[in-house]
Structure formats: structure tokens, C-alpha cells
């Protein structure tokens, strides 16, 4: 059965003004970075450096070498330290490689830059793989796989929707990188083999829409597509449906579409121009648990605690630290974890525990679910540990958007119950 795009779409209070209008602030680690060698799903990582080795920004440190091929480049210059197991934003401890930062940021070219206009399709795909370009919108999926064998692709969708509350990193980064945006989108369009691309962005972002239209005005095959200001419009399925009113089973390529985040296009442009991988990230640090919500540009591998300290600290002693946005992010029980090369947001909220009440069977969570699921029933099945019922209710199709919790008048954390059900099904599958 295909995963339906359910009716659920909500206009949420965006809380974006807290960071939308301010420039990105540069933050550097104080002493060391911790380079994640695993993102929770890698099964084989080859490390090429040893303790004591001198490295530069861009030195190849390691390579994920299982079913994916993803090189890992150093975000700072300095000396390789030990390996350390520490908390990761996937909410599991993972192995990290310590690099003692010498503060000089001396760079090496990680690979030769490439002129995409003369490169062949295969050269571009190999280049993207060597550059280690991953989905920068928070997913971290290796991008080259989307372009490896494009067949009958009719549209490339560049996702600039950024629909979760608080997050403005894509907006600010794109505003400050329009030239790279154009280069990246044109290069991705060539790789996709599609005749046209659209840049999808919420209609409320008037200023950036005008800048993008101006930037692409000579490109007749690249259009700006304005979407409604609802959540989860940035979810691939919702966005694809909004654009062409079509649904798919597993991948949008089944209906001739490839989707990539706009900051992935910018990262790709930088790799083409400068021969560099993703060694730093623009990340929104926002939420009422921070004194000064800020968009930061930071070498990946920097600890969240260090960034928070450098932008002014917490506004409360009791905060929730969320890797990602408040709807889809994961609450991490510590701030001693690092920015990865695909982190787009850290949300810090004051911890105001609310007492959940009895379910009043209002059905709002069911109405809100964009994946067409019945979250309240999945929650009940999970409470009863009834795996068959969880399977019938397709708990594995939950995208963890958080809407069922958001709309619940009884303040029940429905999403958490569905997440547990999803994990139970994944464990059963093995």
C-alpha cells in the first residue's frame, strides 16, 4: 500500500523572527573538535589518520565504506587526538575522532575543483561522492545516490521550504549565498537530467522570493514555486504532492522527481568552486531557553555546549536540548554532543513539564497526521505491546513530524508512543 499524504497540514507559530533578520555569526571551537565517525547507521568506516598526525582543514580523515561511500574531511587544522565514544545527535553514543584545533584554519584542497558545464554526468556523480555531499536539511543522506541513474526525471525540486518553527538557517544561508545557490542548482539540474527545476519556498518569505527570482531571471528552466505556510510542507511527500498532485510509494523518482535541499545545492557549488567538502555548517540555535537565539556558522564537530556559551548562554537552568527543530528533532539528555555536517538546527526550550490528561477521543491527532495514520490507535497498540496491531496500523510509516502531539488537547505525547511503536517494529524486522 502506498504511503498516503494525509490531510494533516497545520499553520504553526513560526517563532522565526527571533533569528530571521540577523546576520550569521561565526563561532569557533575553543580547543578541539570531535568528528563523528558514525552517524548511527554506518557499518564500516576506514580511518586514514593516526594519533599525532598533523591535519589541515580538508584533510581526508576517514571514509564510510559500507553500502555508502562517504569521505570525512577535517573541519579544522591541528593534530589528531584519540578516539572517544560520546553522545551523538542520533541519540546514541558513537565513536568520534578528536582533532586538537590549532586555531589557524590552514586549508588544503580536498580534491580538484570541477567545471560542471563541461563535466559528464558520471564525472559529476563521482565528484559529488568524493566531495562527501550529504543532505544538508537535517537528513544527512548521501546525495550522489539520487543522481546516479536518473531515469525519466521531469523535475528537480530544490527544497527551500524550511517549515519547522524556529529554524531559519536555510533562509539566512541562501540570502548570503545567492551566487552559489544559482551555481549549485544549475549543476544539480544537469545531473538530474530533468528539463526543469523549481525552487520551492513558503510564500511568506517575500524578500528571499524576490532575490531568488532576480538571481534566476536568465534561467528560463528554473522557476520559483511558492508554497502555503503550513507544516509539514517541507516534508518530501507533502511538497511533491503540492507541486504535482501525485503520490509515490518509496521514492519521488518513481514519478520523475528528485528533491534536494537548497543548502545541499550551495554546499555542492562550493565543492565545485573550491574543492572542499562540507567542513562547516550554518545552524540555527533558537528557542526560549536561549538568551540570544542566533544563526551560527561553525566547523562541524564543535560541541553544542560551546556554541551556546559563545552566543550568550541559557536563559533558564532547566532546558530541553533538541537536535533539530521542535517538531521533528530529538531531545538529547545532554549538551555534550556535536554539530554534524548535516545538522541544521539546535532548539533549546525551557522545560515546562505539562501533566497529560486522559485521551478524550477527539480524533484530532488522526485528522492532523500527514502520513494518513491513526496515531491514537498506534499509541494504544504500543501500550498493549501488540506488535500485530502496530503492524496493521503501519506505525513504521510515521515520519515523526510531531503534529499528533502538537494538536492533542489532552497534552499527551502521542508522537513518543508512535516512535516507540516504530522502534518495536524495526527491532522485530531485525
Position 322 contacts ligand SF4 (CB under 6 A):
no
Position 400 contacts ligand SF4 (CB under 6 A):
yes
Position 381 contacts ligand SF4 (CB under 6 A):
no
Among positions 167, 368, 424, 425, the unique one binding ligand SF4 when judged by CB under 6 A: 368
Position 76 contacts ligand SF4 (CB under 6 A):
no
Cα 377 to chain centroid distance, Å, stands at 29
Position 393 contacts ligand SF4 (CB under 6 A):
no
Shortest reach from residue 322's CB to ligand SF4, in Å: 15
* Residue 248 CB partners (closer than 8 Å, separation 6+): 2, 237, 240, 254, 255, 257
Shortest reach from residue 4's CB to ligand SF4, in Å: 11
Shortest reach from residue 66's CB to ligand SF4, in Å: 28
Query: If binding means CB under 6 A, how many residues of this protein chain bind ligand SF4?
Result: 29
Q: Given the rule CB under 6 A, which of 55-63, 101-109, 128-136, 366-374 is the region that contacts ligand SF4?
A: 366-374
Position 339 contacts ligand SF4 (CB under 6 A):
no
SS3 124: helix
Cα 182 to chain centroid distance, Å, stands at 21
3-state secondary structure 93-118: EEEEEEEEECCCCCECCCCCCCCCCC
Among positions 187, 373, 381, 393, the unique one binding ligand SF4 when judged by CB under 6 A: 373
**Any alpha helices (H) in 221-261, and if so which ranges?**
236-244
Q: Which is nearer to ligand SF4, 36 or 232 (CB)?
A: 232
Shortest reach from residue 94's CB to ligand SF4, in Å: 25
Q: Which is nearer to ligand SF4, 184 or 370 (CB)?
A: 370
Position 230 contacts ligand SF4 (CB under 6 A):
no
Q: Given the rule CB under 6 A, which of 35-43, 77-85, 180-188, 354-362 is the region that contacts ligand SF4?
A: 354-362
Burial of 309 by CB count in 10 Å (0-12 exposed, 13-18 middle, 19+ buried)? middle
Shortest reach from residue 361's CB to ligand SF4, in Å: 5
Site string for ligand SF4, 241-270 (x = CB under 6 A): ------------------------------
> What are the φ and ψ backbone dihedral angles of 237, each rounded to 5 degrees?
-65, -40
Instruction: Read off the DSSP letter of residue 255.
Output: G
Among positions 154, 315, 316, 410, the unique one binding ligand SF4 when judged by CB under 6 A: 410
Among positions 14, 75, 184, 402, the unique one binding ligand SF4 when judged by CB under 6 A: 402
End-to-end CA distance of the chain: 22
Measure the CA–CA gap between 202 and 213, rounded to whole angstroms. Answer: 14
Query: Is the distance from CB of 208 to CB of 170 less than 8 angstroms?
Result: no
Q: Which is nearer to ligand SF4, 228 or 363 (CB)?
A: 363
What does each C-alpha distance from 247 to 2, 5, 57, 252, 258 come to in angstroms? 8, 7, 42, 8, 13
Among positions 66, 246, 363, 383, the unique one binding ligand SF4 when judged by CB under 6 A: 363
Among positions 172, 237, 364, 377, the unique one binding ligand SF4 when judged by CB under 6 A: 364
SS3 76: coil
Give all strands (DSSP E) within 15-154, no chain letters. 25-26, 32-36, 45-47, 54-55, 60-65, 69-73, 78-87, 93-101
Position 390 contacts ligand SF4 (CB under 6 A):
no
Shortest reach from residue 241's CB to ligand SF4, in Å: 15
Q: Which is nearer to ligand SF4, 180 or 236 (CB)?
A: 236
Strands 280-286 and 294-299: antiparallel
* Angle subtended by helix axes 121-131 and 178-192, to nearest 10: 130
Shortest reach from residue 205's CB to ligand SF4, in Å: 24
Measure the CA–CA gap between 133 and 112, rounded to whole angstroms. Answer: 15
Sites of contact with ligand SF4 (CB under 6 A): 359-365, 368-371, 373, 375-376, 398-404, 407-410, 412, 414-415, 418
Amino acid at each position: 500500500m502506498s504511503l498516503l499524504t494525509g490531510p494533516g497540514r497545520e499553520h504553526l507559530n513560526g517563532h522565526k523572527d527571533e533569528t530571521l533578520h540577523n546576520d550569521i555569526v561565526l563561532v569557533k571551537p575553543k580547543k578541539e573538535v570531535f568528528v563523528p565517525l558514525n552517524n548511527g547507521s554506518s557499518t564500516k568506516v576506514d580511518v586514514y589518520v593516526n594519533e599525532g598526525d598533523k591535519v589541515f582543514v580538508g584533510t581526508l580523515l576517514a571514509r564510510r565504506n559500507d553500502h555508502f561511500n562517504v569521505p570525512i574531511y577535517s573541519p579544522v587544522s591541528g593534530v589528531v587526538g584519540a578516539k572517544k565514544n560520546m553522545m551523538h545527535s542520533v541519540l546514541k553514543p558513537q565513536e568520534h575522532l578528536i582533532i586538537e584545533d590549532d586555531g589557524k584554519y590552514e586549508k588544503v584542497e580536498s580534491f580538484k575543483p570541477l567545471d560542471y558545464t563541461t563535466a559528464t554526468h558520471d564525472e559529476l556523480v563521482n565528484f559529488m561522492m568524493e566531495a562527501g555531499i550529504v543532505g544538508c536539511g537535517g537528513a544527512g543522506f548521501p546525495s550522489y545516490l539520487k543522481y546516479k541513474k536518473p531515469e525519466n526525471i521531469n523535475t528537480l525540486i530544490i527544497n527551500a521550504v524550511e517549515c519547522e518553527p524556529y529554524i531559519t538557517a536555510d533562509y539566512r544561508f541562501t540570502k548570503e549565498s545567492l551566487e552559489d545557490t544559482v551555481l549549485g542548482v544549475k549543476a544539480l539540474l544537469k545531473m538530474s537530467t530533468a528539463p526543469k527545476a523549481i525552487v520551492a519556498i513558503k510564500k511568506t518569505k517575500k524578500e528571499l522570493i524576490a532575490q531568488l527570482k532576480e538571481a534566476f531571471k536568465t534561467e528560463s528552466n528554473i522557476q520559483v514555486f511558492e508554497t502555503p505556510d503550513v507544516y509539514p510542507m517541507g516534508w518530501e511527500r507533502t511538497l511533491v504532492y503540492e507541486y504535482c498532485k501525485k503520490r509515490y510509494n518509496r521514492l519521488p523518482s518513481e514519478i520523475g522527481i528528485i528533491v534536494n535541499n537548497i543548502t545541499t545545492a550551495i554546499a555542492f557549488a562550493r565543492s565545485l568552486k573550491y574543492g572542499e567538502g562540507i567542513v562547516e555548517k550554518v545552524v540555527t540555535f533558537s528557542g526560549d531557553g536561549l538568551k540570544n537565539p542566533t544563526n551560527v556558522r561553525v566547523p562541524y564537530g564543535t560541541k553544542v555546549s560551546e556554541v551556546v556559551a559563545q552566543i550568550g548562554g541559557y536563559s533558564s537552568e532547566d532546558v530541553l536540548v533538541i537536535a533539530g527543530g521542535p517538531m521533528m528533532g530529538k531531545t538529547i539528555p545532554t549538551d555534550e554532543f556535536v554539530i554534524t555536517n548535516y545538522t541544521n538546527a539546535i532548539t533549546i526550550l525551557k522545560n515546562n513539564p505539562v501533566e497529560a490528561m486522559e485521551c478524550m477521543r477527539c480524533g484530532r491527532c488522526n485528522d492532523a497526521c500527514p502520513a494518513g495514520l491513526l496515531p491514537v490507535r498506534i499509541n494504544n497498540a504500543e501500550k498493549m505491546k501488540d506488535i500485530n496491531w502496530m503492524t496493521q496500523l503501519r506505525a513504521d510509516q510515521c515520519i515523526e513530524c510531531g503534529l499528533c502531539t502538537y494538536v492533542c488537547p489532552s497534552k499527551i505525547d502521542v508522537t513518543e508512543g508512535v516512535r516507540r511503536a516504530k522502534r518495536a517494529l524495526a527491532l522485530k524486522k531485525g
